[in-house]
Amino acid sequence: MSSAHTKSNHELVELSLFPLNLVLFPGMSLPLRIFEERYKLMISECLEKNLPFGVVLIKEGMEVGGLAEPHKVGTTARIIKSERQEGGQYSLQTIGEKRFGIHQITQETPFLVGKVEYLEDEVPNGLGNIVTKTRKMLGSYWKALASIKGGWIREVQTPEDPVSLSYAIAQSVAMPALVGQYLLQMSSVKERMERATPLLQERLDMAQKKLQKLLPYQGPRLN
């Protein structure tokens, strides 16, 4: 874990870990269906003790069955809604809360547990221009996506807080997953936005081109 990309509070806590083939960002929602016995056990403990768990991108290994080696930076997921289904499976609604860095894996079975430290975001002064620019770009992208799906948004509410905005942009460009991991590992909000903005512009251009094909120009309207 590079010190250039992370800033921590140095306090270690123990956290259950859930390796997945995706990156979760703070403030982002993540629905999950839990069917493996080891993760049903993990979720039952989290629910009983009102604890979050850590979502980490798989570095090596498989999502289902066997062990998976995770990347060192992930995000805690807080369970906000749970439904126990037939067979003991869980249907969950979760939301990302805090970035963390793994210092040590302390348990591998039945599920991963690690000692982690929570990571802080660096927010420099003078971000007004980049925040204004990226909020407008993100709003245009969300509108274009809604239109492609047949919907319509009159006014888009994009985050005003630079930290939340940086995560929202990162979430929008987080495929492939390694791109999302790269952005998640950054502690500098300015750097995260600067790195993600060109990728967001590419996706906005693609979305607008697709929208033009779906809704070709019909000529001037008289009303």
- pTM, entire model: 0.86
Estimate the share of the chain in helix, then strand, then coil, as percent rounded to the nearest 5: 35, 30, 30
Q: Label residue 63 by pLDDT band (50, 70, 90).
A: low
Detail the DSSP E strand segments found in the chain.
8-20, 29-34, 53-61, 68-70, 73-84, 90-107, 113-119
Residue listed under structure tokens 């123990």: 14
| 123: helix, strand or coil | coil
Please state, in angstroms and rounded to a whole number, the distance separating the CA atoms of residues 72 and 86: 34
Backbone region of residue 171 per phi and psi (left: phi > 0; alpha: psi in -120 to 50; beta: other values): alpha
Q: What is the DSSP string of 33-57?
A: EE-SHHHHHHHHHHHHHT--EEEEE
Given a cut of 60, is residue 80 above it in pLDDT? yes
Instruction: Tell me the C-alpha distance between 115 and 110, whole Å.
Output: 16
Could you report the per-residue pLDDT of 146-182, keeping only the tens digit for each?
888 887 777 789 999 999 999 999 999 999 999 999 9
Rounded distance between C-alpha atoms, residue 170 and residue 196, angstroms: 6
